[in-house]
Amino acid sequence: MKINRLLTVTGSLFLVSILMMSQTKPAQNTLKASIERGKKVYADRCLTCHQLDGGGVQNMNPPLTKTKWVLGDKAQLIQIVLNGLNTGVTIDDVEYHNVMASHKDLTDLQIADVLTYVRNSFGNKAKAITEAEVKAVRAKMK
């Protein structure tokens, strides 16, 4: 009887672990797919100003590496992409003055993907931004 109970508990734990692994795999695949799509958007829209390494251009275009702007408030970051930025920003005591154009012509998915890419590249590690989050910010701006 004790052996049967042990086998039942062991079997249950095994099934739970299999279920947990199967649930994380799609999430990882989804994140990887978003990052790959975002990398393409970055190359097309962001690379010229923010550079291949995300380091920006001194006193002109800010870096995207480990800054509160990238790793902080998601809604604020989404708003910057949607509205652009025409005020200077200071990062690590360095001022950046170049105007960033609005990218509201990008789809919600493209914005989510490029920001997920940026938040997980150049030494950054942060949660993904979803299409729904972008859609919600865009709706509030109208």
End-to-end Cα distance, the chain: 66
- What is this structure's pTM? 0.81
Q: What is the CA radius of gyration of the chain?
A: 20
Sequence-distant (≥ 6) Cβ neighbours of residue 43 within 8 angstroms: none
* 53 three-state secondary structure: coil
Count of C-beta atoms within a 10 Å radius of residue 136:
14
> pLDDT tens digit string along 40-93?
999 999 999 999 999 999 999 999 999 999 999 999 999 999 999 999 999 999
> pLDDT tens digit string along 95-111?
999 999 999 999 999 99
Identify the structural domains of the chain with CATH numbers, from first to last: 30-141 (1.10.760.10)
